Amino acid sequence: MSRVVVIGSGIAGLIAAVEASRHHSVTLITKSNLAESNTHYAQGGIAAVSSDDDTVAEHIADTLVAGAGLCWPEAVDVLCSEGPGRINDLVALGVDFDRQGEQFARGLEAAHSHARVLHAGGDATGAGISNALVAAVRATNTEIHEHTFLVDIAIEKHATEKDAAGRSQVAGVHVFDTTGTRFIAADIVILASGGAGQLFRHTTNPAVTTGDGVAAALRAGAVLADVEFYQFHPTALAVPGSFLISEAVRGEGAVLINAAGERFMKALHPMAELAPRDIVARGIQSQMMAQGGQPVLLDATALGASFLSERFPSISAACRSYGLNWATTPIPVTPAAHYWMGGVATDDWGRTSIPGLYAVGEVASTGAHGANRLASNSLLESIVFAHRAVSNLGQPWPEDAPAARWGAQGPLLELDLTETVGRPSTQVVDRVELQTMMWDNVGLARTRTTLESTLDQIHAWRPADPAHRLFPDWEDANLLLLAQALTESALARHESRGGHYRLDYPETNPALARPLTIARKV
């Protein structure tokens, strides 16, 4: 029996805790309440083959196309072939997917060759999954610590039976709560702390999404991969705290119009509003720049009030809560940071480059999404790899985990952390200024000049003094570090591919179809 600490209570952390608690002593740490996570807000659903007219081979092919030449094929194979089994696990844990007769109801989403997206409560899939898994974890003997913040991952260096090479390995975690900072010893840490949408001024992600786990892993010495690839969703409601307006709304016939009332997407792509996500997002952004930063409008009025409230109950409720009636009036929308393809590099069992440290869910870079994620594959990735990580507990840690994915050359970029940690200089970072700069310079379209000026500003900031930090200060320190990692990686990738678009390198370069890795300089 191992002492396992799980960080995060989205789908990945909850599955990991529920499954690990069957054989191990588990402590679950989460920085807000158990139900607060990206998972809770997921709308469209979870992709998996569940019908005779669909095949795993086709799900694999669709995922590889979306990944723009950068997927790790073994990870994609695992994702799509093990997905249906993990859906059965979710059902056994109480997730009530919508049905049509005996079968799962299946939605069709962009770039899927078949209708294979399972959903719950219409567009409330994430809440359905989160509520069932929160109840499931509470029914186990997992020790749960809510409102407790992962600060750092502790490592120690000694040879063990399982790692004769004597590499540094996990010893526990430093956490922060109302009583201050304390240490929790562990044999295994499973990081499931999600992405970092809060790096950008516009995001569909909730406030907890500040990349703390990725930053802690980087400080501990873990290798990160693909961090330059961020997916920007074209349509979030342009209100404080943004709210995702699902692609399915455009799929049903809603159109985008500019301040002059013109449908601008028709001139930009033959598929107009249903062009690939990155093209629609960039189309909206250039309209916004041309109209002084004003959001564009999504016109769903032709769909009718009763259809909108039945098909999109959550979005209808969100519009109402902001005083908007989308059945009668077009609503303001903007692109927004949505999903991080990059993260802590793992192998196909969730193992990172630090023995004892697993990373699962959005915090990880398994290679399953490559340079761009296929819609509804992220909830699937979370359950497939959380299950795999738990089933791997107790196994020896191979010396090359997870390096097989990027070959023998080791990390390509090294970050000098002394530049952002403990630097005596200048000004304490301002979150809104950082988010605005990242949105403007490292968002939908990047150039060498904007990336370099961003790095200059990042180097002119420092985090607050660790001795006086509260939750938001720890988060700001992490956001500053990740802004540096993302910007340096974006600067180093001299091409456009998937979620990374360089105005100065607009083409995809086949010679660069490999992951870019980054680690702490030692």
Residue numbers at the binding site for ligand FAD (CB under 6 A) = 7-13, 29-32, 36-39, 41-46, 125-126, 149-150, 192-194, 204-205, 208-209, 212-213, 244, 339, 361-363, 376-379, 382
Q: Which of 86, 106, 116, 277 is catalytic?
A: 277
Question: Which pair of tokens denotes residue 479?
Answer: 């956001």
Compute the distance between CA of residue 450 and CA of residue 441 in angstroms, rounded to an integer. Answer: 5
List the one residue out of 191, 189, 239 whose CA is nearest residue 211. Answer: 191
Amino acid identity for residue 11 in this structure: I
DSSP codes joined into one string, 18-33: HHHTTTSEEEEE-SS-
User: Residue 36 gets which letter from DSSP?
Assistant: -
**Residue with smaller CB distance to ligand FAD, 204 or 287:** 204
The CB-of-204 to ligand FAD minimum distance in angstroms stands at 4
| Residue 6, H or E segment | strand 3-7
Amino acid identity for residue 195 in this structure: G
The CB-of-30 to ligand FAD minimum distance in angstroms stands at 5
**Residue with smaller CB distance to ligand FAD, 297 or 318:** 318
CA distances to 24, 91, 188, 390, 506 from 1, in Å: 5, 27, 11, 12, 52
411, 515 in Cβ contact below 8 A? no
**Residue with smaller CB distance to ligand FAD, 31 or 219:** 31
Q: Which residues of 454-465 are buried (b: 16+ CB within 10 A; e: fewer)?
A: bbebbeebbbee
Beta-carbon contacts of 291 under 8 Å, excluding residues fewer than 6 positions away, are 258, 259
| Residue 49, H or E segment | none
Amino acid identity for residue 391 in this structure: S
The CB-of-127 to ligand FAD minimum distance in angstroms stands at 11
3-class state of residue 53 by DSSP: coil
199, 482 in Cβ contact below 8 A? yes
Q: Tell me, letter by letter, the H, E, C secondary structure of 85-149.
A: HHHHHHHHCCCCCCEECCEECEECCCCCCCCCEECCCCCCHHHHHHHHHHHHHHCCCCEEECCCE
Q: Is 277 a catalytic residue?
A: yes
The CB-of-515 to ligand FAD minimum distance in angstroms stands at 19
Compute the distance between CA of residue 158 and CA of residue 146 in angstroms, rounded to an integer. Answer: 32
186, 119 in Cβ contact below 8 A? no
The CB-of-80 to ligand FAD minimum distance in angstroms stands at 13
**Residue with smaller CB distance to ligand FAD, 42 or 438:** 42
Which amino acids are annotated catalytic?
277
